Amino acid sequence: MKKILITPRSFSKARHKADELLKDYEELEIVMNTTGRTLTEEEMIDQCSDIDGIIVGIDPMSEKVLKSAKNLKAISKYGAGLDNIDLDAAKELGIKVDRAVATNAMSVAELAIGLMFVASRSIVPTATSVKNGGWDRGKNAGNELYGKTLGIVGLGAIGREVARMAKGIGMNILGYDPYFDNQEFTDRYEISMVELEDLLKNADFITLHLPLTEETEHMINKDTLSIMKTSAYLINTSRGGLVDEDALYDALIDGVIAGAAQDVFSEEPPKGGHKLLDLPNFVLTPHIGAYTKEATERMVMQSTQNLIEMLELEKK
């Protein structure tokens, strides 16, 4: 009997969907992560020692984990970003990898748009002041999104949904993605494809929708922040490692940009707090981008289907 480990916490919320798909196939021994959190590398080494397949969230699948998982044949990512998986090691070891493409794009895009309103209208600090008995509208008046320029970095599944929604709000859209070439889409949503530098210089809102790789790590740094408008807002729902957080802190303190709102951080949760969390013009949500009922169901179904195919499970 093949053994499967399922690590994402939200998987159990739609587990019945996976069971429905699996009922026609050979029986599996399924082990769920019951810790209520992302597993550590040590725990992954321990849990993966005798599994044939895994449906994995953001838990580390380093070379060390993969090498210790002697029976592992397939990694099914519950989501889109593969940055927690050592793809070179997987290839070398002959372990198949697939991801649940576009299953959470709508949810993450809606959060990114939401964070633009959060940042530009100071929704978090003003609402917090009311909860604390105050009625403080903040020093500065907010900004409308209507008529502003949005720079979308990465026009994959999520970036394209953001473009569609932003068009509806009445924003002008700049795009940067060296691997994207779909003129029908850019024509339909009137997206001007530009170089990254032009996007950073001209956008009022910059939203990141690209994977974390060696090439993209710290793409938002002291230099790139310095060319943004002082009135610009940075939105990051992709990965914390895309942004140099020390440089972002300095930029927010010194008025180099107006604000930032993120759903991701270099270390989740940020250990012992982080200086960025003390700033009123910085907002962080706890990686909730794909945490909706709809995305959960789609991710459960797609990641289970991908695992069935990669493990070539036999029909009963």
Nearer to ligand NAD, 152 or 313 (CB): 152
274 in active site: no
Q: 116: part of which helix (H) or strand (E)?
A: helix 105-120
| Residue 257, Ramachandran bin (φ over 0: left; ψ between -120 and 50: alpha; else beta) | beta
Nearer to ligand NAD, 72 or 153 (CB): 153
Nearer to ligand NAD, 43 or 268 (CB): 268
β-pairing, 96-99 vs 53-56, is: unpaired
* Residue 160 beta carbon to ligand NAD: minimum distance, rounded to whole angstroms: 8
Residue type, 116: M
239 in active site: yes
Nearer to ligand NAD, 72 or 115 (CB): 115
* Residue 23 beta carbon to ligand NAD: minimum distance, rounded to whole angstroms: 28
3-class secondary structure, 36: coil
Residues 6 or more apart in contact with residue 307 via CB below 8 angstroms: 4, 53, 55, 74, 76, 313
* Residue 99 beta carbon to ligand NAD: minimum distance, rounded to whole angstroms: 8
268 in active site: yes
| Binding-site ranges for ligand NAD (CB under 6 A) | 79-81, 104-105, 108, 153-159, 176-180, 209-212, 215-216, 237-239, 263-264, 287, 289-290
* Residue 199 beta carbon to ligand NAD: minimum distance, rounded to whole angstroms: 10
121, 268, 274, 297: the catalytic one is 268
Q: Which stretches of 81-223 are assigned E, i.e. beta strand?
A: 96-99, 149-153, 172-176, 191-193, 205-208
β-pairing, 149-153 vs 282-284, is: unpaired
What residues act catalytically? Answer: 239, 268, 287
